[in-house]
Amino acid sequence: MKIRVNHSKIELVKGDITESNTDAIVNAANAQLILGAGVAGAIRSKGGPSIQEECNAIGHCPVGGAVITGGGNLKARHVIHAVGPRQGEGDEVTKLKNATLNSLKVAKENKLKSITFPAISTGVYGFPIDACARIMLTTAKTYLSGPTIIKRVVFALFDETSFKAFEDQIKTLK
Ligand code: ADP
């Protein structure tokens, strides 16, 4: 499933984000930048130890922020570590929007043309998938509506439920 926004595309794919060959993949990170379970665990095991080492050198990232490292042995040359909110901590919508937007800004600053996101905060952090789909897709679409070098924004959805939630939301984007 794809939509065109200006001169760019938003694409939905089902599957493992570590298989993505975009310039960067986004990690659903925590503020300590410790690669634990979920997306981070898959990145750690496929990408090798250099990613955690680079994260350690950076040290910390606030909720709603994003930082970049190399991609180690991944197909993607870079990993952008975006820190989403934990459900219940407050101000989740703004924080998830900022995590998405700051990832796109970091991609742009590093002259990257394509990026793949997971459904940030919807795993261990417990944020509802429908709201996540709405916030992340709207943020990506608004960003791509302005001048940008980013050509492809991909969302890699791990299971059928997440894919369906994003598919339903993308159809409602105007
Ligand atoms: P968070 O701590 O931000 O909730 P998680 O990594 O636990 O992050 O989960 C975020 C989302 O990514 C969840 O919907 C989860 O099912 C999904 N996910 C887990 N592993 C992968 C993977 N390898 N590729 C794509 N999505 C994944």
Compute the distance from residue 29 Cα to the ligand 1 centre, in Å.
10
Say what the pLDDT of residue 174 is.
67
pLDDT, one tens digit per residue, over 8-25 is 999 999 999 999 999 999
Which is nearest to 112 in space by CA: 87, 148, 139?
148
Pocket test for ligand 1, best of 155, 158, 164, 166 (most atoms within 8 A of CB): 158
Structure pTM? 0.98
Pocket of ligand 1 (CB under 6 A): 16-18, 28, 37-40, 42, 84, 118-125, 156, 158, 162
141 touches 5 (CB < 8 A) = yes
Domains of the chain (ranges; CATH) run: 2-173 (3.40.220.10)
Residue 173 has pLDDT above 90, yes or no: no
Structure token pair of residue 51:
């990613």
Residue nearest to atom 17 of ligand 1 (CA): 158
Q: What is the DSSP string of 86-148?
A: PTTSS-HHHHHHHHHHHHHHHHHHTT--EEEE--TTSSTT---HHHHHHHHHHHHHHHHHSS-
Compute the distance from residue 61 Cα to the ligand 1 centre, in Å.
18
Residue 111 has pLDDT above 70, yes or no: yes
Structure token pair of residue 143:
């960003």
